[in-house]
Structure 1
Amino acid sequence: MKRICTICARGGSKGVKNKNIRDLLGQPLIVYTLRQAQECQLFDIIAMSSDSQKILDIAQNYGVDILVNRPPELATDRSAKIPAIQHCVEEVERLSGQKFDVVVDLDATSPLRLPEDIQSAVSLLETEKISNVITGTPSRRSPYFNLVELGRDSVVRLSKPLNQPIVRRQDSPKCFDMNASIYVWQRDVLFNATTVFNPDTRLFLMPEERSIDIDSELDFEIVELLMRKKSIH
């Protein structure tokens, strides 16, 4: 079983400027993901894909196996993630002469995950022999109870009303937030994919405290606070 880990990190960011290389407790943000990939000891090759030479240089300094220059058309604000992963895998297979069975993509903006989370998500895919695994955490809001939408008429409505209204959140169907931390694919499924959802897609649950994806300055501050607290204890 050959496994590749891809880490796809763009140079630009609107929510948090240069977030992938921003200092987080003395290290660039992407370094936490690189080290997690190395520490879980699962991968034949760890590859960094980026349109930023600064990001690629940092990855090289921290021992990434293969660097992939991402084409500009796959690195815009509107670019989808799956084509970037596919391109990265294709380039690594071309450069290494290897073909992989399992592809694991780690989001560079999720530094709170543990190597054990990666190991468990991969184990779920390989043990159950399913198409792919995504990660998530129990949602704080429910579309059946307290998640609302604003219509074109400016009227607020429940996102997913039921015929029998729910009066307690505990009674609503269980919902989960995709935390964008870990994606695990069978390689051949990935190359036929346009979405992360397949008929047999499984969810690997992670706790809320390891599920923050940095998309804003507030996210960055929360992650920094949690990491300081962890280092103190």
Structure 2
Amino acid sequence: MTSVAIIPARGGSKRIPRKNIKDFHGKPMIAYPISVALESRLFDRIIVSTDDEEIADVSMRYGAEVPFMRPKELADDYAGTNAVVRHCLEWLVEKNQKPEYACCIYATTPFLQEEYLRKGLELLKVSGKSFAFTVTTFPSPIQRSVRIRKDGALEAIFPEHVPKRSQDLEEAYHDAGQFYWGKSEAFLNRVALYSPESIPVILPRYLVHDIDTQEDWRMAELMYKALSFYENQ
């Protein structure tokens, strides 16, 4: 087997209840990454790792597999994504179906595009690195960050950069939280993701939405509607 998509989707989302299967512009949220993964034809299997029967049913209805239910110890608020991916890969190893590449795709990625998913795999192969994952730029220089002190006043976190022009400051990137391509061996051997073993897949900021709060959800709905309108012109 060449590659597998692994979509983590636990049932216990607290800030947005049932977030992974909540309706988003007419479809359950998790249907979006499943559909893109299927249409890309990059994967031999698309596996949703969940502890929730309803999420499992919805995922299978939209074309993913749920060949096992995630154990309770990997379904609480402290379970890390890497541990969930390793669990799935170890299950595949036990079945003698170890893939060469694995791609962890988050369930709440309605802005996921096949173009970047495909680019991630290509970059991973060409670079020889362990991982390729999505990043995007900060909207303003992080070197100009300020903090609020205990007395309520402001102060610069990096005062040495205050006199500098914005264009003279190094551009910084952050994890876009869409997908993480990696060699299966790297996931299994716990190779550090935030390291020189990774190569970036750079996304435009308008495709990056971290959906953790109700406000995030509303902003994502509005941007999705705007992009859909623009693409249909």
TM-score, structure 1 normalization: 0.90
Match in the other structure for 1:108: 107
CA RMSD of aligned residues (A): 2.0
Report if aligned partners of 1:5, 1:45 keep a CA contact under 8 Å in 2.
yes
- Give CA deviations for 1:162-219 in whole Å, capped at 9, x if unaligned: 4x54433222111012111110111111112264223331111001111112111122
Q: Assess, with a 3 A threshold, how the Cα gap between structure 1 residues 160 and 191 changes in structure 2: closer, same or farther.
A: farther
Partner of 1:206: 203
SS at match of 1:4: strand
How many Å separate the matches in 1 of 2:204 and 2:11?
A: 29
Q: CA deviation at 1:32?
A: 0.3
Cα deviation 1:38-76 (Å, max 9, x = unaligned): 111101111000111111111111121343311111111
3-state SS of the aligned residue for 2:67? strand
Aligned residues of 1:143 and 1:158 also touching (Cα < 8 A): no
Distance 2:193 2:153 in 1: 32
Which residue number corresponds to residue 146 of structure 2?
148
Amino acid across the alignment from 2:208: S
CA gap of 1:159–1:87, structure 2 versus 1, over 3 A, is: farther
Rounded to whole Å, the distance in 2 between the matches of 1:156 and 1:123 is 45
Task: Give the structure 1 partner of residue 175 of structure 2.
Answer: 178
| Distance verdict in 2 for CA 1:173–1:32, change over 3 Å | same
Question: Equivalents in 1 of 2:125, 2:203: separation in Å?
Answer: 18
Aligned to 1:135: 134
Query: What does 1:1-233 align with in structure 2 at a 5 Å threshold?
Result: 2-95=2-95, 97-145=96-144, 147-150=145-148, 156-162=154-160, 165-193=162-190, 195-232=192-229, 233=232
Classify 1:155/1:114 alpha carbon distance in 2 versus 1 (closer, same or farther; 3 Å): same
> Residue 5 of structure 1 contacts residue 37 of structure 1 at CA under 8 Å; is this kept in 2?
yes
The one-letter code matched in structure 2 to 1:85 is V
Secondary structure (helix, strand or coil) at the match of 2:68 reads strand
Separation in 2, partners of 1:112, 1:158: 34
Cα distance change, pair 70–160 in 1 and its aligned pair in 2 (3 A): farther
Give how far 1:93 is off. Answer: 3.5
What is the TM-score of this pair, normalised by structure 2?
Answer: 0.90
Gap change, CA 1:217 and 1:153, over 3 Å in 2: same
CA shift digits 1:116-152 (9 cap, x unpaired): 110001110011111111211111133311x233456
Cα offsets for 1:73-118 (capped at 9, x unmatched): 11111221100111012223434x3111111011111210201110
Answer yes or no: is the 8 Å Cα contact 1:45–1:66 preserved in 2. Answer: no
5+ residue gaps in structure 1?
Answer: none
Give the whole-Å Cα distance in 2 for the aligned partners of 1:40 and 1:160: 43
Mapped partners of 2:55, 2:118: distance in 1: 25
* Structure-1 separation of matches of 2:158 and 2:92: 43
Where does the alignment leave 5 or more consecutive residues of structure 2 unmatched? none
Matched length: 230
